[in-house]
């Protein structure tokens, strides 16, 4: 325990030294500013009393480390995009209550290491880059601290009859609000196709990749307008509900029901089942069986649409595999530390080094980048 505390203290002082010398990164500056603001509320702490600030931080961290609860719940109604960073190592906890600010991420319209912006295709010949300026008939709105593209309700009659496709090739989650009030979140690489007759007598959407739906009930003349999602393997019929589908794994798809009720039907074998809240269905193209299990990853589903990583008692190896896939970088984990349990939430930072630094601060590990690869080893400290 002493070794872990000493390592955390060293890393905190390193960040403070970078901050005071003007060499800190944007994330490090936010980190210092946040802690400075929190301890600055004490009457006996002067604005320039860095020693008192350091002691206050050390005291708070020690209290958290010595608590070590086995279970942590995250109230998602209170979680903002960058509201908290929580990491639990084998025997330590470090909690940073960040201000409600967006972490530094590639904004739509700015240069990125991946594709630049989400894309909207209308009809067969209109393509719009969803950058800072929204296309005609749409607008941007901030909802729960997220920037949301809003489609105007029947802005133009002729355009409402055109097929729309929204693609997200970026490394950020992209979310938009349909004319009926339904909100959709697209994870990286996902896309949806919106029927040209959407909202007239039915609401039909085709989806690829990982997509989250918050469906609004809609009626015409007292009759409910059905909402249907099509993927390569299944048809999902819903009313008002929240669910996530993932069709990014080739021949296997899954659907996680958060609330409400859905009926899903296998496209090939016509088998079907009803899902209840907190159930997950898994199906593939080579079997008529639809496996229904209790969903154990609700927090993970909620996390990705908030641009967060969520880990619950995952091994260090599996955490690094997830980071490797997201940041498109090869990561090697030493076998001696591969099974260290990790639980917590981390912002999907633009730079993997920021995420790795958080994990390093609460676990006895070091990461080294060599030849374009990252090696994770046990710290010798």
137-152, pLDDT tens digit by residue?
899 999 988 999 999 8
Confidence of residue 357 (pLDDT cuts 50, 70, 90): confident
pLDDT tens-digit profile of 315-336? 999 999 999 989 999 999 999 9
Nearest to 174 by CA among 199, 165, 98: 165
- Given a cut of 80, is residue 198 above it in pLDDT? yes
CA nearest to 169, candidates 113, 253, 123: 113
User: Which secondary-structure segment (H or E) carries 238?
Assistant: strand 234-238
pLDDT in tens, 238-277: 977 899 999 988 789 999 999 999 999 999 999 999 999 9
Q: How far apart are CA 34 and CA 32, in angstroms?
A: 5
Q: Tokens at residue 356, please?
A: 């790795």
pLDDT for residue 351 = 85
Going by pLDDT thresholds of 50, 70 and 90, the confidence category of residue 205 is very high
Give the confidence band of 224 by pLDDT, cuts at 50, 70, 90: confident
Predicted pLDDT of residue 222: 81
What DSSP designation does 129 have? E
- Highest mean pLDDT (candidates 28-37, 67-76, 78-87, 244-253): 244-253
Q: pLDDT of 183-196, one tens digit each?
A: 999 999 999 999 98
In the chain, which segments carry CATH 3.55.50.30?
A: 2-102+307-378
pLDDT, residue 52, reads: 57
* 287-291: Cβ within 8 A, 24+ apart: 290/264, 290/266
Structure tokens that stand for 230 in this block: 């099509």
- Arithmetic mean of pLDDT, 337-355: 87
- pLDDT top residue among 10 and 305: 305
C-beta of residue 367 within 8 angstroms of C-beta of residue 360:
yes
Predicted confidence at residue 332, as pLDDT, reads 96
**Helix, strand, coil % over all residues of the chain, rounded to 5:** 25, 35, 40
Q: How far apart are CA 367 and CA 260, in angstroms?
A: 44
- The pLDDT of residue 269: 94
Mean pLDDT over 304-323 rounds to 91
User: How does strand 223-224 pair with strand 219-220?
Assistant: antiparallel
Q: Is the confidence at residue 167, as pLDDT, over 60?
A: yes
**pLDDT over 70 (residue 377):** yes
According to the model, what pLDDT value does residue 293 have?
Answer: 94
User: Residue 159 — pLDDT band, cuts 50, 70, 90?
Assistant: very low
Q: pLDDT tens-digit profile of 105-125? A: 433 333 334 467 999 999 888
- Third-level CATH fold of 2-102+307-378: Phage tail protein beta-alpha-beta fold (3.55.50)
pLDDT at residue 23 above 80? no
The 10s digit of each residue's pLDDT in 39-71 is 444 444 444 454 554 455 445 544 443 443 333
Ranges in the chain annotated CATH 2.60.120.1440: 119-296
Domain 119-296 has CATH 1.10.150.20: no
At 308, phi and psi to the nearest 5? Answer: -125, 150
pLDDT above 70 as % of the chain: 69
Distance from C-alpha of 264 to C-alpha of 228, rounded to nearest angstrom: 10
pLDDT (mean) for 223-252:
90
Q: What pLDDT does residue 358 have?
A: 84
CA distance 364 to 381: 8
Predicted local distance difference test score (pLDDT) of residue 296: 81
Lowest mean pLDDT among 151-160, 317-326, 345-354: 151-160
Instruction: Find the Cα–Cα–Cα–Cα dihedral 100, 101, 107, 112, rounded to 10°.
Output: -110
Mean pLDDT of the chain: 76
């Amino acid at each position: 325990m002493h070794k872990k505390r000493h390592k955390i203290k060293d890393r905190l002082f390193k960040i403070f030294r970078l901050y005071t010398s003007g060499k800190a990164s944007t994330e490090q500056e936010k980190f210092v500013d946040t802690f400075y603001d929190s301890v600055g509320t004490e009457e006996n702490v002067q604005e320039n009393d860095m020693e008192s600030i350091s002691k206050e931080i050390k005291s708070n961290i020690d209290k958290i480390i010595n608590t070590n609860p086995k279970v942590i719940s995250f109230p998602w109604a209170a979680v903002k995009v960058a509201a908290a960073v929580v990491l639990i190592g084998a025997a330590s906890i470090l909690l940073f209550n960040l201000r409600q600010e967006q972490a530094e991420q590639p904004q739509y319209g700015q240069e990125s290491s991946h594709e630049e912006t989400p894309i909207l295709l209308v009809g067969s010949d209109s393509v719009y880059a969803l950058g800072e300026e929204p296309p005609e008939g749409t607008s941007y709105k901030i909802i729960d601290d997220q920037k949301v593209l809003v489609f105007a309700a029947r802005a133009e009659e002729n355009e409402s009859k055109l097929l729309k496709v929204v693609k997200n090739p970026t490394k950020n989650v992209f979310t938009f609000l349909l004319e009926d009030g339904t909100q959709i979140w697209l994870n990286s690489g996902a896309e949806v196709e919106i029927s040209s007759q959407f909202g007239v007598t039915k609401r039909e959407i085709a989806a690829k990749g990982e997509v989250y739906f918050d469906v609004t009930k809609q009626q015409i003349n007292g009759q409910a307008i059905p909402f249907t999602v099509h993927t390569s393997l299944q048809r999902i019929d819903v009313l008002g509900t929240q669910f996530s589908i993932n069709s990014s794994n080739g021949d296997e798809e899954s659907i996680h029901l958060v609330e409400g009720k859905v009926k899903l039907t296998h496209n090939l074998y016509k088998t079907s089942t009803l899902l209840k809240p907190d159930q997950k269905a898994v199906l593939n193209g080579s079997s008529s069986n639809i496996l229904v299990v209790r969903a154990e990853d609700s927090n993970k589903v909620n996390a990705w649409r908030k641009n967060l990583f969520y880990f619950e008692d995952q091994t260090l190896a599996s955490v690094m595999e997830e980071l490797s896939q997201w940041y498109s970088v090869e990561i090697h984990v030493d076998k001696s530390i591969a099974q260290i349990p990790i639980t917590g939430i981390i912002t999907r930072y633009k730079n993997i080094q920021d995420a790795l630094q958080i994990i390093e601060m609460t676990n006895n590990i070091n990461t080294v980048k060599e030849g374009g690869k990252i090696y994770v080893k046990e710290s010798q400290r």
